[in-house]
Amino acid sequence: MNKYQLFAFFHNFYRIFPIKKNKISFIGWPEANFTGNLGHIQQEFQKRNDFHYNFIFKDEYNMSAPLPILSKFMDLIRLFLLKSYHLATSHYIFLSDNFLPLAYMNPSPETTIVQLWHASGAFKKFGLSTVSDEGLRELETKLSHKLDLITVSSKNVIPHYQEAFGVEERKVKALGVPRTDFYLKNSNEEVLTRLRARFEKKYPALENKKIVLYAPTFRDDPDRDQQLVKNFNVNRFNQELGSEYVLMIRLHPLLNQVEDGDFIDVTFYPDEKELLLIADILVTDYSSIMIEYALLNKPIIFFPYDYEYYINEERGFYFDYKDTVPGPIAYQVGDLINLIKKNNHDLNIIKQFVASEFDRLDGKASQRIVDHVIK
């Protein structure tokens, strides 16, 4: 019996207890200050009634985590004996990622299970669109069949989520992405001025400078991950653009590394949404972060320096990368620097891209999802 089956064993045992109508469970990766999809849904429920909340974070069942033995033991006791009980008696369960124990669980028919997913829109392939291992594919398929609802940003992306989760169309609803409510409610001059002042206090180098945020995604090859900053050529960026721009770099959290260099490392800044708000230009490669940044209608430059490798060896995309990304593409650092210097960006391309990825931009996705689930 593996750890996923063990958790499911306790959950299924606790099915002897009745469902608590005012209990909600949230499952996903830890969110700084609970500001992601799960946090926005919790905030919406807090407006409605007196609910009780159960939180399960995916690193809790990482048995190889470097913790003292007693501390790790107590955490596992809480997870397997206590949190599994609260999960089994929850009326609503919200996920922002896969939760493999769900494949072995037998949830109550009274429980509604909602997959919010952690990325907006559809860009890189994920889920069953990429899994080749038959054992994992079977596990993820069993998991997906337990879902009652998958929320997405647009009707246009529904077929991609059907493919990724292996579910029928009726389970996928274009109700919006909760975390995008943040951008739509906070992208005003007052908030931006206050946020900029806070960042300048923390990072004095930002004063009187524009911000270029470089946010690449990870590769499946760890050796290539180590090259992400080196291939950007920070020194050349600073030599040619340093009088006008400051470079911020945010590596994917999965890389768990901090690079040395003459830039502002914001890899572990707690809320990437704030970084997107203050950035003047986003430079990325294949990261879905560009979909949320596009909501702000600011320039995006794509830097897929290893495009041939990525398209052939990594997961691929749901659409043609070169024809669809909402911004110019630079394959060399020199071309990237020239694009920043020219500062001649067609924002209409971004508007068209947003229109294809989002059906509604009203800042009410969280409200819409909770209304749908409760009804």
For 24-44, the pLDDT digits (tens) are 999 998 776 678 999 999 999
The 10s digit of each residue's pLDDT in 217-241 is 988 888 888 888 888 999 999 999 9
Tell me if domain 3-176+362-374 and domain 181-357 are identical in fold: yes
Which pLDDT score, from 0 to 100, does residue 30 have? 76
Q: What pLDDT is stored for residue 105 in this prediction?
A: 97
Structure tokens at 250: 């945010």
CB 163 within 8 A of CB 128: yes
Query: Which amino acid, one-letter code, is at 120?
Result: S
- pLDDT computed for residue 353 by the predictor: 96
373 Cβ neighbours under 8 A, 6+ residues apart: 92, 112, 114, 149
Does the pLDDT of residue 208 top 60, yes or no?
yes
Check: CB of residue 56 under 8 Å from CB of residue 27: yes
Kind plus residue range of the DSSP H or E element containing 136 = helix 134-145
Residue 216 has pLDDT above 90, yes or no: yes
Examine the pLDDT at 76 and tell me if it is beyond 90.
no
Q: What is the pLDDT of residue 259?
A: 64
Residue 375 has pLDDT above 90, yes or no: no
Contact 3, 61 (CB under 8 A): yes
Instruction: Average the pLDDT over 280-293 and give the result.
Output: 96
Section 100-123 average pLDDT: 96
Q: What is the number of other CB atoms lying within 10 angstroms of the CB of residue 66?
A: 6
Tell me the two tokens of residue 57. 């974070």
Average pLDDT over residues 274-294: 96
Provide Rg for the chain, Cα atoms: 22
- pLDDT surpasses 60 at 65: no
Residues 6 or more apart whose CB falls under 8 angstroms from that of 268 comprise 253, 258
pLDDT digits (tens, 9 = 90+) for 142-183: 999 999 999 999 999 999 999 999 999 999 999 999 999 999
Region 287-292 average pLDDT? 94
Name the residue with higher pLDDT: 70 or 80: 80
Find out whether 336 and 305 touch, Cβ atoms under 8 Å: no
Q: What is the mean pLDDT of residues 209-223?
A: 91
Fold category of 3-176+362-374 in CATH: Rossmann fold (3.40.50)
- Pairwise CA distance, residues 267 & 257, whole Å: 8
- Least confident residue range of 55-69, 272-286, 326-340: 55-69
Distance CA 291, CA 311 (A): 19
Q: Find the distance separating the first CA and the last CA of the chain, reported in whole Å.
A: 38
Fold observed for domain 181-357: Rossmann fold (3.40.50)
The answer on pLDDT for 289 being more than 90 is: yes
Banded model confidence at residue 68, pLDDT cuts 50, 70, 90: low
The whole-number average pLDDT for the span 67-84 is 81
Percent of the chain with pLDDT over 70: 94
**What are the boundaries of each domain within the chain?**
3-176+362-374, 181-357
Cα 199 vs. chain centroid, distance in angstroms?
A: 23
